[in-house]
Amino acid sequence: MSVGAETKEFQAEVGRLLRLMAHSVYSEKEIFLRELISNASDACDRLRYAAIADPTLIDGDSNFEVQIRIDKENRRLIVSDNGIGMDRDDLIKYLGSIAKSGASDFLETLEAASSSDKSSAHIIGQFGIGFYSTFMVAASVEALTKKAGDTQAWLWKSDGEGAYSIEQSEKSSRGTDIILTLKDDEAEFLEAFRLRHIIKSYSDHIPIPVLLSEDPKDKGEQANAGRAIWTLSKTETSDEAHKEFYSHVGGMGEGPWKTIHWKAEGALEYAGLLYLPSVKPFNLFNPERKNRVKLYVRRVFITEEADELLPGYLRFLVGVIDSEDLPLNVSREMLQRNSVLQQIRTGVVRRVLREIEDGAKTDPEGYSDFWENFGAVLKEGVYEDVNNREALLKLCRFRTTESSDLVSLEDYISRMKDGQEAIYFITGEAGRNLANSPQVEGFKSRGIEVLLLTDPVDDFWPGAVGVFDNKPIRSVTQGGEDLDKIEETDSEKDEVTSDIDPLIEKIKGALSSAVKDVRVSKRLTDSPVCIVADDGDLDLHLSRMLQQHGEAVPNSARILELNPKHPLIQGLSKKSSQESMDEEITLYANVLLDQARIAAGEPLEDPALYGRQIAELMIKGL
């Protein structure tokens, strides 16, 4: 560390990260250069935008570029830009800590990644911490920087061993120089042909010149194409170019599932280059629901936080929208109420949903994978976006009691049973075997397919939608569904051998304060009992989930349904006529209610009492 420099410890997460980087054995170490060029390009973009409001920031130097200089004599590689630069606070914020949420998740992901797995190197870009990848190849790293408009330059230094220093320095021009002193065994990154290959492979799409020089004092020659890929026609681009640009804007190494590249012309003109990812980003379910599409105006970067550009349920999209009609000086506040942006948003959403629908038809296997990754997010749109609800519902896929493969609502309707009038579903936690829930037994025995819904949003969208293709959407845990219109199987036609009305009355009396009603069930075939919500009451799982999140939920008692054909219920029915058995029937009633709650995934009010009651019944049985 420099004498007189201010020394600071890295944030704990950065310390762990640097230890991983410094001792890395990844096979794709060259990504450090991709990340530095990407950062340099972003710095130029940000200054270009800032200069719209304050042109003096780029006085005398308005041509943005990235320079890469080789200094073999000192084993140094220098990556420079004339972008916005950093001050002392910026250095601490961006190079001393991981400001993004999910740092711990990232580190766990990186630590778990196999060093032989090429995708592990691309994790770095996805989490926005590409600067630290320099420690895979460098024994020490310096950042000499001066912020545009400032007079004071700063020098940041670190060897990646837990601390860094910051001191005042001298720099004649704005921007940042990243100076890498390479490790002894990383000499390959001092060879011009190697660097040129990396630049062409990873950074050809960067829309500013990337210059490469073998002389630290020489400006060098341009090593990339330097054209914004979204301004090119489809015939001028390649799958490889799209893969690299997708990696640049999305930080994900695996190529996208689908590329959406178009130019809108007419009343509004804008270019769109969007990618549907093939893998799930780490922060997909971040509560902020930030989108990852960058907004440009006439090739000038404006912001990557234009939440008005896309609805939250399309936050998995990666790419660029470049408008010809928005003003260059559009502010964050103006974006929130800009009618042009709202029209662009409408057009982009429709285009994206149309492309997803096309992908579902032409590549059903790929769409199945896409749905597994992003279906839960798209269903947020079913709940929120009334205007596009019909299109979104057609994209939805579900597992059912009849199929482990994903099926659409159209598929479901096409195989509805004669007499079936509704689309039925059951909700519950992922991992729970909903297909074996007591509430679906009667439906399964009649061959009625039931949608198995396990995503949190599934508790909300069916109630918001209500009907699809003139078919009501109903929960099997709600109301007294009339199954009489569906033809029974032979096993169901067996008559009940005893009248259980007296038993029902006694159980009602025993559970008078615990349930709303006790009745004969038409939905049970194998289980003795189940609980359901009454018509108009909240679905069982929705009610439970809201309570878990501290929401005020009406205290609606449940209905206990009995299976009159079950041997246990028939046996209790025979005993119910004996007054001497009233106490035992009360005991059975409480145990059966708790069993129904367990089967429905609901917590028991008194698990210890339930255990004692089970033991008591076992003793009586002995």
Domain range for 540 is 495-622
52 within a domain of the structure (yes/no)? yes
DSSP code of residue 134: G
Q: What is the arrangement of strands in the sheet containing 529-532, beginning at the earlier edge strand?
A: 515-520, 558-562, 529-532
CA torsion sign, 90 to 93 to 96 to 100?
negative
Distance CA 602, CA 609 (A): 16
The predicted pLDDT at position 497 comes to 55
80 within a domain of the structure (yes/no)? yes
538 within a domain of the structure (yes/no)? yes
**Which domain-ending residue is among 337, 357, 391?**
391
The predicted pLDDT at position 102 comes to 45
309 and 344 belong to one structural domain: yes
The predicted pLDDT at position 121 comes to 46
Residue 406 CB neighbours (<10 A): 17
Distance CA 204, CA 343 (A): 32
The predicted pLDDT at position 118 comes to 41
Distance CA 161, CA 228 (A): 38
Distance CA 541, CA 555 (A): 14
Distance CA 144, CA 430 (A): 50
483 within a domain of the structure (yes/no)? no
User: Tokens 């007079």 label which residue?
Assistant: 151
76 and 208 belong to one structural domain: yes
pTM: 0.75
Q: How many domains does the chain have?
A: 4
Residue 64 CB neighbours (<10 A): 20
195 and 56 belong to one structural domain: yes
Per DSSP, the three-state class of 238 is coil
489 within a domain of the structure (yes/no)? no
221 and 156 belong to one structural domain: yes
Residue 295, φ and ψ in degrees, nearest 5: -100, 125
Query: Which CATH number fits the domain that encloses residue 322?
Result: 3.30.230.80
Contact indicator for 503, 576 with CB cutoff of 8 Å: yes
User: Tokens 């069916």 label which residue?
Assistant: 462
DSSP code of residue 556: P
Query: Which CATH number fits the domain that encloses residue 441?
Result: 3.40.50.11260
The predicted pLDDT at position 122 comes to 47
520 and 458 belong to one structural domain: no
405 and 380 belong to one structural domain: no
**Which domain-ending residue is among 225, 250, 270?**
225
Nearest alpha carbon to residue 208 among 348, 97, 65: 65
Contact indicator for 80, 69 with CB cutoff of 8 Å: yes
501 and 579 belong to one structural domain: yes
CA atoms within 13 A on the CB side of 96: 19
272 within a domain of the structure (yes/no)? yes
Residue 273 CB neighbours (<10 A): 26
29 and 121 belong to one structural domain: yes
Q: What is the distance in angstroms between the CA of the first residue and the CA of the last residue of the chain? A: 80
139 within a domain of the structure (yes/no)? yes
187 and 48 belong to one structural domain: yes
Rounded to a whole number of angstroms, the CA Rg of the chain reads 32
Contact indicator for 259, 275 with CB cutoff of 8 Å: yes
Nearest alpha carbon to residue 519 among 574, 482, 571, 567: 482
Spatial neighbors of 32 by CB under 8 A, at least 6 apart, are: 130, 133, 134, 136, 137, 138
Residue 316 CB neighbours (<10 A): 20
Kindly state the tokens that stand for 259. Answer: 């590329």
The predicted pLDDT at position 24 comes to 57
Residue 305, φ and ψ in degrees, nearest 5: -125, 35
Residue 110 CB neighbours (<10 A): 20
Q: How far is CA 415 from the centre of its chain?
A: 32
Distance CA 598, CA 546 (A): 18
Query: Which CATH number fits the domain that encloses residue 219?
Result: 3.30.565.10
456 and 505 belong to one structural domain: no
87 and 216 belong to one structural domain: yes
pLDDT along the chain (622 residues), means of 10: 72 73 65 90 92 92 95 96 95 75 54 48 51 89 96 94 92 96 95 93 87 88 90 89 85 86 92 94 82 87 84 94 86 79 95 97 96 96 96 96 93 92 90 86 90 93 94 84 66 62 92 90 90 80 70 76 92 82 88 92 88 90 79
Nearest alpha carbon to residue 503 among 442, 588, 610, 618: 588
485 within a domain of the structure (yes/no)? no
Query: Which CATH number fits the domain that encloses residue 517?
Result: 1.20.120.790
Contact indicator for 597, 584 with CB cutoff of 8 Å: no
Distance CA 379, CA 464 (A): 11
User: Is residue 92 packed enough to be buried (19+ CB in 10 Å), middle (13-18) or exposed (0-12)?
Assistant: middle
Pairing of strands 471-475, 529-532: unpaired
What string of DSSP letters covers 449-505? -EEEE-SGGGGTHHHHH-EETTEEEEETTBS----TTSPPPGGGGSPPSS--HHHHH
Helix, strand, coil shares, percent, the chain, to 5: 45, 20, 40
431 and 540 belong to one structural domain: no
Contact indicator for 324, 269 with CB cutoff of 8 Å: yes
Distance CA 471, CA 465 (A): 11
**Which domain-ending residue is among 225, 248, 271?**
225
The predicted pLDDT at position 127 comes to 42
